[in-house]
Amino acid sequence: MPKIKAVNHVAVVVDDMDKSLSFWRDALGMELHELRDVPAEKSQVAFLPIAGAEVELVMPTSGDSGIAKYLVKRGPGMHHICLEVDDIDGMMAQLKAKQIRLINEAPRTAADGKKYAFIHPESTGGVLVELYQI
C-alpha cells in the first residue's frame, strides 16, 4: 500500500516576487535556496527550505498560465500543499478506486525527474493537494 512520507512543500502564489522575498527572506530570515524559471508551468519559483520541507513562492510569467488564472480569481496566498509519497502510481490508483477526483490522470515528470500530480480541491475539502515522488 502506498504511503505518505512527508510534507514536501507549501506553495504560495505571489504577484510580486521581489516584494514577497522581502517578507519571506529579508523579514523572516529564511534562506533563498534557488530562484528558478519553470517554462512548462509558465512560472517563476523561489525555493525557501525550512526543517526538511520548503516554502515555494510561485509567480506567473505569462497571463495565460494556470497560476495567472488562479491569481486573478483568488489573489495572492496559499496555493497548495505538497505531500511526498513513496509510490505515486499506487497512490493515484488508490485514490481513483475511492472516487477521489484527480486533476492529472497520470503523473507528470518535472525537469529534475520528480514525478508529480494534483488532486482536485473538490475531493479534499477545498485544498489543492500535490503528490510528489522523488
- Tens of pLDDT along 12-46? 999 999 999 999 999 999 999 999 999 988 999 99
Domains held by the chain: number: 1
Mean pLDDT, range 106-112, rounded to an integer: 89
User: Residue 52's domain is classified under what CATH number?
Assistant: 3.10.180.10
Instruction: Say what the pLDDT of residue 111 is.
Output: 79
Q: pTM, whole model, 2 decimals?
A: 0.90
Best CA proximity match to 84, nearest among 5, 9, 10: 5
Binning pLDDT at 50, 70 and 90, where does residue 3 land? very high
Distance CA 75, CA 98 (A): 32
The more confident residue out of 41 and 102 is: 102
- Domain range holding 42? 4-133
